[in-house]
Amino acid sequence: MLKAMEVLGQGMAAQRIRLQTASANLANAETTRTAAGGAYRRQEVVFQSTPVGRSGEPGQDTSDFESTLQGVKVARIQEDQSPLPMIYDPGHPDANADGMVAKPNVNVVDEMVDIMGAARSFDSNVTAFEALKQMVNKSMEIGR
């Protein structure tokens, strides 16, 4: 059961990073000049499954469920390489010689959907964690 709690904790941590990344994308949806130069590029979170494995403690029997658990971790956060939209605005301070301004490749609606999805996934992990915690407490009461 502790391994299941570990998996749920990993899920919550991964969703927190997803939420932070989508929030940063949303906050920079109109940023045409970054410290590195150029318009802001959307950041994407790439997840990776990670085996939890057996506890490894001598004499401890691990259930088939626990031995096949897969956790999740953030493999990397990468820049979205889709083209930056170009807008004609010759009066903009970041306009090129043709009067075109590179805008961030952030879709506000997509980022809001991603934020809602990350929040719901986080909440689902919290709910499962609480249910698992109650099961552990009940099993300890039975043993008394």
Distance CA 29, CA 139 (A): 50
The residue written with tokens 């008394």 in the block is: 144
Mapping DSSP to helix (H, G, I), strand (E, B) and coil, where does residue 47 land? strand
Residues contacting residue 27 through CB under 8 Å, at least 6 positions apart: none
Query: Which pLDDT value is given to residue 142?
Result: 86
pLDDT tens for the chain, 144 residues long, are 778 888 999 999 999 999 999 999 999 999 999 999 899 999 999 999 988 765 544 445 555 655 566 889 999 999 999 999 999 999 999 999 999 999 999 999 999 999 999 999 999 999 999 999 999 889 888 877
Q: The domain containing residue 86 runs over which residues?
A: 2-142
Distance CA 87, CA 99 (A): 8
Q: How far is CA 44 from CA 7, 79, 97, in A?
A: 22, 6, 31
Instruction: Look at the chain and report how many structural domains it folds into.
Output: 1
Stated pTM of the model: 0.81
